Amino acid sequence: MTVADQLLGRARTIAGVGLAINVVLAAANIAAGLAAGSTSAVAAGLEFGGDVIASVVVLAGLAAAARPPDDNHPYGHGRLETLAGFTVGLLLVLGGAGICYRSLQEVHEVHPPPDVIALWTLAAAIVVRLVMSGVKLRVGRRLGSGALIADGWNDAVDIVSASAAAGAVALARLDPERFLAADHYGGVLVGLVVVLTGVRVARDTSLDLVDTMPEPPRLEAIRRVAASVPGVQRVEQQRARKTGLTYHVDLHVEVDPAISVHASHDIAAAVRRKLRDDLPWVADVLVHIEPDQRTTTP
Protein backbone atom coordinates (compact mmCIF):
# COMPACT_ATOMS: atom_id res chain seq x y z
CA MET A 1 0.00 0.00 0.00
CA THR A 2 1.39 3.40 -1.00
CA VAL A 3 1.68 6.39 1.33
CA ALA A 4 -1.12 8.12 -0.59
CA ASP A 5 -3.37 5.08 -0.08
CA GLN A 6 -2.67 5.12 3.66
CA LEU A 7 -3.45 8.84 3.89
CA LEU A 8 -6.71 8.40 2.00
CA GLY A 9 -7.67 5.47 4.23
CA ARG A 10 -7.25 7.54 7.38
CA ALA A 11 -9.20 10.44 5.88
CA ARG A 12 -12.06 8.12 4.87
CA THR A 13 -12.25 6.63 8.38
CA ILE A 14 -12.54 10.06 10.01
CA ALA A 15 -15.10 11.23 7.46
CA GLY A 16 -17.15 8.06 8.02
CA VAL A 17 -17.24 8.55 11.79
CA GLY A 18 -18.24 12.18 11.22
CA LEU A 19 -21.10 11.09 8.98
CA ALA A 20 -22.56 8.82 11.66
CA ILE A 21 -22.34 11.56 14.29
CA ASN A 22 -23.96 14.09 11.95
CA VAL A 23 -26.97 11.83 11.46
CA VAL A 24 -27.51 11.57 15.23
CA LEU A 25 -27.06 15.32 15.84
CA ALA A 26 -29.37 16.31 12.99
CA ALA A 27 -32.16 13.99 14.12
CA ALA A 28 -31.81 14.98 17.79
CA ASN A 29 -31.85 18.73 17.23
CA ILE A 30 -34.66 18.75 14.66
CA ALA A 31 -36.81 16.56 16.91
CA ALA A 32 -35.99 18.62 20.02
CA GLY A 33 -36.52 21.88 18.17
CA LEU A 34 -39.93 20.84 16.93
CA ALA A 35 -40.94 19.53 20.34
CA ALA A 36 -39.67 22.66 22.10
CA GLY A 37 -41.06 25.08 19.52
CA SER A 38 -37.58 26.52 18.85
CA THR A 39 -36.75 27.95 15.43
CA SER A 40 -33.06 28.24 16.35
CA ALA A 41 -32.80 24.59 17.37
CA VAL A 42 -34.57 23.44 14.21
CA ALA A 43 -32.24 25.66 12.14
CA ALA A 44 -29.22 24.08 13.83
CA GLY A 45 -30.68 20.63 13.19
CA LEU A 46 -31.21 21.47 9.52
CA GLU A 47 -27.61 22.63 9.35
CA PHE A 48 -26.50 19.32 10.82
CA GLY A 49 -28.65 17.61 8.21
CA GLY A 50 -26.73 19.54 5.58
CA ASP A 51 -23.58 18.23 7.21
CA VAL A 52 -24.79 14.70 6.51
CA ILE A 53 -24.96 15.54 2.81
CA ALA A 54 -21.56 17.24 3.01
CA SER A 55 -20.02 14.20 4.72
CA VAL A 56 -21.42 11.92 2.01
CA VAL A 57 -19.84 14.18 -0.62
CA VAL A 58 -16.50 14.10 1.22
CA LEU A 59 -16.57 10.30 1.52
CA ALA A 60 -17.44 9.94 -2.15
CA GLY A 61 -14.60 12.26 -3.11
CA LEU A 62 -12.08 10.41 -0.96
CA ALA A 63 -13.21 7.04 -2.35
CA ALA A 64 -12.94 8.30 -5.93
CA ALA A 65 -9.53 9.84 -5.25
CA ALA A 66 -8.22 6.45 -4.10
CA ARG A 67 -8.61 4.97 -7.59
CA PRO A 68 -5.25 4.34 -9.30
CA PRO A 69 -4.09 6.29 -12.38
CA ASP A 70 -5.32 5.10 -15.77
CA ASP A 71 -4.83 6.04 -19.42
CA ASN A 72 -7.29 8.93 -19.20
CA HIS A 73 -6.08 10.11 -15.79
CA PRO A 74 -2.28 9.66 -15.71
CA TYR A 75 -2.00 11.93 -12.66
CA GLY A 76 -4.54 9.84 -10.75
CA HIS A 77 -7.98 10.84 -9.49
CA GLY A 78 -6.91 13.00 -6.56
CA ARG A 79 -8.59 16.11 -7.92
CA LEU A 80 -11.95 14.47 -7.15
CA GLU A 81 -11.10 14.85 -3.47
CA THR A 82 -10.47 18.57 -3.99
CA LEU A 83 -13.67 18.88 -6.00
CA ALA A 84 -15.55 17.28 -3.11
CA GLY A 85 -14.23 19.99 -0.79
CA PHE A 86 -15.36 22.69 -3.24
CA THR A 87 -18.80 21.08 -3.42
CA VAL A 88 -19.04 21.16 0.37
CA GLY A 89 -18.40 24.91 0.22
CA LEU A 90 -21.23 25.42 -2.28
CA LEU A 91 -23.57 23.28 -0.17
CA LEU A 92 -22.78 25.41 2.86
CA VAL A 93 -23.63 28.61 0.97
CA LEU A 94 -26.94 27.23 -0.30
CA GLY A 95 -27.84 25.63 3.03
CA GLY A 96 -27.05 28.80 4.96
CA ALA A 97 -29.25 30.87 2.67
CA GLY A 98 -32.09 28.39 3.15
CA ILE A 99 -31.72 28.49 6.94
CA CYS A 100 -31.91 32.32 6.89
CA TYR A 101 -35.10 32.22 4.84
CA ARG A 102 -36.79 29.60 7.01
CA SER A 103 -35.85 31.34 10.26
CA LEU A 104 -37.54 34.56 9.20
CA GLN A 105 -40.86 32.85 8.60
CA GLU A 106 -43.45 33.63 11.30
CA VAL A 107 -40.97 35.92 13.08
CA HIS A 108 -43.72 38.30 14.23
CA GLU A 109 -46.15 35.65 15.42
CA VAL A 110 -46.84 35.30 19.13
CA HIS A 111 -46.19 31.81 20.50
CA PRO A 112 -44.96 30.18 23.73
CA PRO A 113 -41.20 30.45 24.45
CA PRO A 114 -39.01 27.44 23.49
CA ASP A 115 -38.81 24.56 25.95
CA VAL A 116 -35.55 23.96 27.83
CA ILE A 117 -34.96 20.68 25.96
CA ALA A 118 -33.73 22.73 22.99
CA LEU A 119 -30.90 24.08 25.14
CA TRP A 120 -29.79 20.59 26.18
CA THR A 121 -29.54 19.25 22.64
CA LEU A 122 -27.71 22.37 21.45
CA ALA A 123 -25.24 22.10 24.33
CA ALA A 124 -24.56 18.47 23.46
CA ALA A 125 -24.00 19.45 19.83
CA ILE A 126 -21.46 22.11 20.84
CA VAL A 127 -19.38 19.63 22.85
CA VAL A 128 -19.43 16.98 20.12
CA ARG A 129 -18.57 19.54 17.44
CA LEU A 130 -15.58 20.82 19.45
CA VAL A 131 -14.05 17.35 19.39
CA MET A 132 -14.92 16.61 15.76
CA SER A 133 -13.66 19.93 14.43
CA GLY A 134 -10.34 19.63 16.23
CA VAL A 135 -9.74 16.10 14.94
CA LYS A 136 -10.71 16.83 11.33
CA LEU A 137 -8.73 20.07 11.05
CA ARG A 138 -5.63 18.59 12.67
CA VAL A 139 -5.63 15.40 10.60
CA GLY A 140 -6.76 17.20 7.44
CA ARG A 141 -3.84 19.62 7.63
CA ARG A 142 -1.42 16.81 8.38
CA LEU A 143 -2.65 14.81 5.38
CA GLY A 144 -3.17 17.83 3.13
CA SER A 145 -6.81 16.85 2.53
CA GLY A 146 -8.86 19.77 1.23
CA ALA A 147 -12.11 17.84 1.66
CA LEU A 148 -11.37 16.86 5.27
CA ILE A 149 -10.28 20.41 6.13
CA ALA A 150 -13.49 21.71 4.57
CA ASP A 151 -15.47 19.26 6.68
CA GLY A 152 -13.53 20.37 9.77
CA TRP A 153 -14.35 24.02 9.12
CA ASN A 154 -17.94 22.97 8.65
CA ASP A 155 -17.88 21.48 12.16
CA ALA A 156 -16.21 24.63 13.52
CA VAL A 157 -19.03 26.70 12.08
CA ASP A 158 -21.50 24.42 13.81
CA ILE A 159 -19.96 25.38 17.16
CA VAL A 160 -20.58 29.06 16.45
CA SER A 161 -24.04 28.52 15.03
CA ALA A 162 -25.13 26.17 17.83
CA SER A 163 -23.84 28.66 20.40
CA ALA A 164 -25.79 31.45 18.71
CA ALA A 165 -28.89 29.28 18.64
CA ALA A 166 -28.49 28.38 22.33
CA GLY A 167 -28.09 32.05 23.24
CA ALA A 168 -31.20 32.95 21.25
CA VAL A 169 -33.24 30.23 22.95
CA ALA A 170 -31.99 31.35 26.37
CA LEU A 171 -33.01 34.98 25.65
CA ALA A 172 -36.46 33.92 24.46
CA ARG A 173 -36.97 31.90 27.63
CA LEU A 174 -35.55 34.58 29.91
CA ASP A 175 -37.93 37.35 28.78
CA PRO A 176 -40.53 36.15 26.24
CA GLU A 177 -42.23 39.53 26.05
CA ARG A 178 -39.07 41.34 24.92
CA PHE A 179 -36.96 38.63 23.29
CA LEU A 180 -39.38 36.09 21.83
CA ALA A 181 -38.22 36.98 18.29
CA ALA A 182 -34.61 36.31 19.33
CA ASP A 183 -35.20 32.63 18.67
CA HIS A 184 -35.95 33.44 15.02
CA TYR A 185 -33.07 35.89 14.63
CA GLY A 186 -30.75 33.32 16.17
CA GLY A 187 -31.66 31.03 13.30
CA VAL A 188 -30.80 33.82 10.85
CA LEU A 189 -27.41 34.25 12.50
CA VAL A 190 -26.82 30.52 12.14
CA GLY A 191 -27.54 30.78 8.42
CA LEU A 192 -25.24 33.78 7.91
CA VAL A 193 -22.32 32.06 9.62
CA VAL A 194 -22.85 29.01 7.42
CA VAL A 195 -22.89 31.14 4.25
CA LEU A 196 -19.64 32.92 5.14
CA THR A 197 -17.90 29.64 5.94
CA GLY A 198 -19.09 28.12 2.69
CA VAL A 199 -17.54 31.03 0.78
CA ARG A 200 -14.23 30.49 2.58
CA VAL A 201 -14.20 26.74 1.97
CA ALA A 202 -15.05 27.17 -1.73
CA ARG A 203 -12.30 29.75 -2.11
CA ASP A 204 -9.62 27.62 -0.42
CA THR A 205 -10.37 24.49 -2.44
CA SER A 206 -10.68 26.41 -5.71
CA LEU A 207 -7.05 27.48 -5.30
CA ASP A 208 -6.01 23.84 -5.65
CA LEU A 209 -8.31 23.33 -8.63
CA VAL A 210 -6.56 26.14 -10.54
CA ASP A 211 -3.07 24.73 -9.82
CA THR A 212 -1.96 27.28 -7.23
CA MET A 213 1.66 26.67 -6.22
CA PRO A 214 2.23 25.14 -2.77
CA GLU A 215 3.32 27.30 0.16
CA PRO A 216 7.00 28.42 0.26
CA PRO A 217 8.15 25.86 2.90
CA ARG A 218 7.12 22.97 0.61
CA LEU A 219 8.86 24.55 -2.39
CA GLU A 220 11.99 25.06 -0.33
CA ALA A 221 11.89 21.42 0.80
CA ILE A 222 11.65 20.26 -2.83
CA ARG A 223 14.62 22.43 -3.83
CA ARG A 224 16.71 21.36 -0.85
CA VAL A 225 16.15 17.63 -1.35
CA ALA A 226 16.76 17.80 -5.11
CA ALA A 227 19.95 19.82 -4.65
CA SER A 228 21.30 17.21 -2.22
CA VAL A 229 21.46 14.51 -4.94
CA PRO A 230 25.04 13.92 -6.17
CA GLY A 231 25.51 15.31 -9.67
CA VAL A 232 22.91 18.08 -9.34
CA GLN A 233 24.77 21.36 -9.62
CA ARG A 234 21.76 23.64 -9.43
CA VAL A 235 17.96 23.54 -9.31
CA GLU A 236 16.93 26.07 -11.92
CA GLN A 237 13.12 25.86 -11.91
CA GLN A 238 10.47 24.07 -9.90
CA ARG A 239 6.72 23.76 -10.22
CA ALA A 240 4.20 21.73 -8.25
CA ARG A 241 0.46 21.18 -8.36
CA LYS A 242 -1.75 19.46 -5.87
CA THR A 243 -3.67 16.35 -6.90
CA GLY A 244 -5.79 15.22 -3.99
CA LEU A 245 -3.56 14.73 -0.94
CA THR A 246 -0.24 14.79 -2.80
CA TYR A 247 1.71 16.91 -5.26
CA HIS A 248 3.10 16.33 -8.74
CA VAL A 249 6.40 18.15 -9.22
CA ASP A 250 8.21 19.45 -12.32
CA LEU A 251 11.90 20.24 -11.89
CA HIS A 252 14.63 21.71 -14.09
CA VAL A 253 18.02 20.68 -12.71
CA GLU A 254 21.41 21.59 -14.13
CA VAL A 255 24.25 19.07 -14.40
CA ASP A 256 27.78 19.05 -15.73
CA PRO A 257 27.43 19.47 -19.52
CA ALA A 258 30.40 17.19 -20.12
CA ILE A 259 28.76 14.03 -18.73
CA SER A 260 26.99 11.48 -20.91
CA VAL A 261 23.27 11.27 -21.59
CA HIS A 262 23.22 8.01 -19.66
CA ALA A 263 24.79 9.65 -16.61
CA SER A 264 22.31 12.55 -16.85
CA HIS A 265 19.45 10.07 -16.93
CA ASP A 266 20.76 8.36 -13.80
CA ILE A 267 20.89 11.71 -11.99
CA ALA A 268 17.29 12.47 -13.00
CA ALA A 269 16.16 9.06 -11.72
CA ALA A 270 18.02 9.64 -8.45
CA VAL A 271 16.33 13.03 -7.99
CA ARG A 272 12.90 11.51 -8.60
CA ARG A 273 13.57 8.66 -6.18
CA LYS A 274 15.02 10.93 -3.48
CA LEU A 275 12.09 13.34 -3.54
CA ARG A 276 9.50 10.56 -3.34
CA ASP A 277 11.38 8.84 -0.49
CA ASP A 278 12.07 11.95 1.60
CA LEU A 279 8.81 13.85 1.02
CA PRO A 280 5.74 11.58 1.45
CA TRP A 281 3.45 14.27 0.05
CA VAL A 282 5.20 14.10 -3.35
CA ALA A 283 3.39 11.61 -5.60
CA ASP A 284 5.64 11.85 -8.66
CA VAL A 285 8.37 14.00 -10.20
CA LEU A 286 9.20 14.96 -13.78
CA VAL A 287 12.87 15.96 -14.01
CA HIS A 288 14.21 18.04 -16.89
CA ILE A 289 17.99 17.86 -17.29
CA GLU A 290 19.83 20.95 -18.50
CA PRO A 291 23.54 21.82 -18.82
CA ASP A 292 24.96 24.03 -16.10
CA GLN A 293 25.28 27.38 -17.87
CA ARG A 294 28.01 28.46 -15.52
CA THR A 295 30.37 25.75 -16.79
CA THR A 296 29.30 25.63 -20.45
CA THR A 297 32.02 26.76 -22.82
CA PRO A 298 30.84 29.64 -25.08
Q: Is residue 277 part of a domain?
A: yes
Q: What is the CATH number of the domain that holds 250?
A: 3.30.70.1350
161 plus 250 within the same structural domain? no
Give residue 252's pLDDT. 93
Burial class of residue 199 (count of CB atoms within 10 Å of its CB; 0-12, 13-18, 19+):
middle
Domain membership of residue 296 (yes or no) is no
pLDDT at 118: 81
In a domain, 298, yes or no: no
Q: Are residues 40 and 131 in the same domain?
A: yes
Asked if 197 and 224 sit in the same domain, the reply is no
Which of 209, 232, 248 terminates a domain? The answer is 209
76, part of any domain: yes
Domain housing 183: 3-209
Task: Quote the pLDDT of residue 37.
Answer: 78
How confident is the model at residue 232, as a pLDDT? Answer: 92
Q: Which pairs from 266-272 meet CB under 8 Å and 24+ separation? A: 266/231, 267/229, 267/230, 267/231, 267/232, 270/229, 270/230, 270/231, 271/226, 271/229, 271/232
**How distant, in Å, are the alpha carbons of 26, 86, 149, 172, 220 from that of 200?**
23, 10, 11, 31, 27
Whether 187 and 249 share a structural domain: no
Domain boundary among 175, 209, 243: 209
Which residues are 253's β-sheet partners?
Answer: 235, 289
Q: Tell me, yes or no, whether 271 lies in a domain.
A: yes
Q: Are residues 202 and 71 in the same domain?
A: yes
Sequence-ordered list of residues with C-beta below 8 angstroms from that of 172, at least 6 positions apart, any chain: 38, 113, 114, 179, 180, 181, 182, 183
pLDDT averaged per 10 residues in sequence order, the chain, 298 residues: 60 76 84 80 77 73 71 74 80 80 67 76 87 84 73 78 79 73 74 80 79 84 93 89 82 91 93 91 89 66
What is the value of pTM for the model shown? 0.60
> Residue 193's domain is classified under what CATH number?
1.20.1510.10
Residue 69 domain flag: yes
On whether both 37 and 127 belong to a single domain, the answer is yes
User: In sequence order, what are the beta bridge partners of 288?
Assistant: 252
* Whether 115 and 244 share a structural domain: no
Backbone torsion region of residue 178, taken as left when φ is above 0, otherwise alpha when ψ lies between -120 and 50, otherwise beta: alpha
Residues 33 and 136 in one domain: yes
At which of 188, 209, 230 does a domain end? 209
Residue 17, C-beta contacts closer than 8 angstroms, at least 6 positions apart? none
Residues 17 and 107 in one domain: yes
Give 239: exposed, middle or buried? Use CB within 10 Å, 0-12, 13-18, 19+. middle
User: Does one domain contain both 204 and 231?
Assistant: no
Residues 267 and 199 in one domain: no
Q: How many domains does the chain have?
A: 2
Q: Is residue 297 one of the residues assigned to a domain? A: no
Q: Are residues 191 and 251 in the same domain?
A: no
